[in-house]
C-alpha cells in the first residue's frame, strides 16, 4: 500500500488492526535530501505514533544503531533521555532516527504514548529478502553468489592504523531472529508494561572477515578478498563495537524470544526505557540457513 493511502485505510479498517510494526524508512546512510528524510523518517513516524496512541494500539518501530554515531559515547541503551541527548549520529539517516527517538521519549514522559511501544536500535541485520535494498544490502547478500562462484569480493580497508584490514567489527544480527523478537514483544500486549528504545543485536562484535568466512563455510568455498579504499562520503566509524555492561544478562531477553517464542514474557522492571537485551546466535549456523535461499 502506498504511504499516502495508509491513514485513509486505517480510518476505515483500523479497528481490526492489532498492532503496528513500523519498519519502513529512507535507510541509505549516504542520503542527503533532508526534506525527504524528515518527511519519511520523522514526520510520518510521528503520525503513526499519534494514531497508535489515539487508537490504543501497540507500536513497534525501527530505530537504528546509526544513532550511536562513532560509538564514542558507548552503546548502552539503559540511560534514558539524558543518555540519548549525548548521542551524535554521523549521517542524516542516523540523525532522523535519533530525532524521532528523542521525540517518543518526551511524548511518553508526558503521558502521550501507545499502550505498549518499543523502538528497536537494529544493528547490522542480514538475511533473505533484502535484495531490493541496492547498496544498502548486507555484505552477506551482496557477496554470497560471488563467494560461491570463487569470484573476488571487495571489502573496505580499515581507516585506522590500529585495526587491520577486515578486522573492523560490527554486531551482525540475523533478520529472522529480529522478527522473532518483534513478535515476542507484541505477544506480551499492553499489560507487559514496556516502553522505550532498546538495542536489537547479538551483543557480540564480529569482524567483517568473520562474516565472510562464515558465508564461505556455508557454501564450501574460501573467500577471495580484495581490500579497497573507503569512499569519502562514508563517515569513518570506530573499528571496534563495544557491547555494554553485562552481556550475560543482556543476552537473556532475546534468547528467550528466539529459542522459546511460545513461552510467556516476563514483566520488565524498567518501563522507560527498555533495558538492553541481546542474544548471540552462531553466525555460521545463520549463514548456512541463508544459503538455502539461493
Closest alpha carbon to 274 in 121, 171, 124? 121
User: What's the confidence (pLDDT) of residue 288?
Assistant: 55
Our CA angle for 8, 12, 18, nearest 5°, is: 105
192 phi, psi to nearest 5 deg: -75, -10
pLDDT for the residue 242: 39
Residue 151's CB is within 10 A of a number of other CB atoms, namely: 12
Q: What is the pLDDT of residue 46?
A: 97
Q: Which of 85, 133, 224, 245 is catalytic?
A: 133
Cell (9 digits) for 149? 562462484
Give the Cα separation of 281 and 202 in Å (integer). Answer: 7
Q: Residue 111 corresponds to which cell in the numbers above? A: 503521558
Q: Assess contact for 279 and 254: CB atoms under 8 A.
A: yes
Stated length of the chain:
294
pLDDT score recorded for residue 62? 96
| Cα–Cα dist 69/88, whole Å | 5
pLDDT value of position 256 = 54
- What ranges do the domains of the chain cover? 3-291
pTM, two decimal places: 0.80
Look at residue 258 in the predicted model and tell me its pLDDT: 58
Q: Given this model, what pLDDT does residue 219 score?
A: 86
93 as an active site residue: the answer is yes
Give the architecture-level CATH label for domain 3-291: 3-Layer(aba) Sandwich (3.40)
Q: Which residues contact 248 (CB under 8 A, 6 or more apart)?
A: none
144 is catalytic: no
pLDDT beneath 70: ranges in the chain:
1, 189-193, 233-294
Which residue of the set 68, 93, 144, 174 is catalytic? 93
d(CA 250, CA 65): 16
What pLDDT is attached to residue 290? 52
Amino acid at each position: 500500500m502506498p504511504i499516502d493511502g495508509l491513514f485513509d485505510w486505517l480510518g476505515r479498517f483500523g479497528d481490526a488492526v492489532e498492532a503496528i510494526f513500523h519498519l519502513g524508512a529512507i535507510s541509505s546512510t549516504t542520503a542527503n535530501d533532508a526534506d525527504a528524510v524528515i518527511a519519511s523518517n520523522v514526520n510520518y513516524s510521528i503520525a503513526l505514533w499519534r494514531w497508535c496512541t489515539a487508537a490504543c494500539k501497540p507500536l513497534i518501530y525501527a530505530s537504528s544503531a546509526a544513532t550511536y554515531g562513532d560509538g564514542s559515547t558507548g552503546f548502552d541503551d539503559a540511560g534514558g533521555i539524558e543518555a540519548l541527548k549525548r548521542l551524535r549520529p554521523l549521517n542524516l539517516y542516523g540523525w532522523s532516527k535519533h530525532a524521532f527517538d528523542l521525540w517518543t521519549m518526551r511524548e511518553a514522559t508526558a503521558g502521550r504514548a501507545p499502550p505498549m511501544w518499543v523502538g528497536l536500535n537494529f544493528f547490522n541485520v542480514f538475511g533473505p529478502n533484502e535484495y531490493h535494498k541496492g547498496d544498502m544490502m548486507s555484505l552477506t547478500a551482496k557477496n554470497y553468489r560471488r563467494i560461491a562462484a570463487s569470484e573476488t569480493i571487495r571489502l573496505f580497508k580499515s581507516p585506522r592504523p590500529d585495526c587491520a584490514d577486515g578486522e573492523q567489527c560490527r554486531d551482525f544480527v540475523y533478520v529472522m531472529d529480529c522478527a522473532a523478537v518483534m513478535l515476542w514483544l507484541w505477544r506480551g500486549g499492553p499489560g507487559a508494561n514496556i516502553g522505550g528504545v532498546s538495542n536489537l543485536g547479538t551483543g557480540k562484535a564480529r569482524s567483517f572477515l568473520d562474516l565472510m568466512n562464515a558465508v564461505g563455510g556455508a557454501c564450501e568455498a574460501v573467500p577471495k578478498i580484495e581490500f579497497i579504499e573507503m569512499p569519502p562520503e562514508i563517515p569513518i566509524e570506530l573499528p571496534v563495537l563495544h557491547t555494554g555492561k553485562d552481556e550475560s544478562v543482556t543476552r537473556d531477553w532475546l534468547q528467550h524470544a528466539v529459542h522459546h517464542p511460545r513461552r510467556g514474557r516476563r514483566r520488565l522492571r524498567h518501563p522507560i526505557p527498555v533495558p538492553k537485551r541481546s542474544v548471540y546466535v552462531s553466525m555460521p549456523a545463520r549463514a548456512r540457513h541463508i544459503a538455502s535461499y539461493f
